[in-house]
Amino acid sequence: MSITPFIEEKSRQLCCYLHAFWSGALDYQELNYFFWDTLEEWSLYRCDDAEPYSHTERVFWHLLHQIHYWREDQLLNDDILRDELKQCVRFLQGGTVFPFDCIGIRP
């Protein structure tokens, strides 16, 4: 089974969650819940481990890891970090080229 539909759906959701978080409309805890819910859904998903990564999948896993790794205040106030994460969001939304520093891998 292809993982593309899962990655596309979760990428759209992640972008929406991040926009809401950065605008103050979503609490950090909800962003954290999204992280754990996504991992739980992924654990139930069956895919061929040999399926190659797409750029979208790499950016998605990278961005998901970043929202969990950094503290709330860093996600909100570190301008350099926010710019990097926003570049990932723009890529997932089809608005920019692949950010080469994304090294996301499947959990």
Query: Residue 95 — pLDDT band, cuts 50, 70, 90?
Result: confident
Which whole number is the average pLDDT over 27-47? 92
Interatomic CA distance for residues 83 and 90, integer angstroms? 10
pLDDT score of 1 more than 70:
no
pTM for this model (two decimals): 0.93
Nearby residues of 78 by Cβ (< 8 Å), 6 or more positions away: 70
Q: Give the tokens for residue 71.
A: 């503290």
pLDDT of residue 101: 83
How confident is the model over 39-94, as pLDDT tens digits? 999 988 776 677 888 999 999 999 999 999 999 999 999 999 999 999 999 999 99
How confident is the model over 7-27, as pLDDT tens digits? 999 999 999 999 999 999 999
pLDDT of residue 107: 87
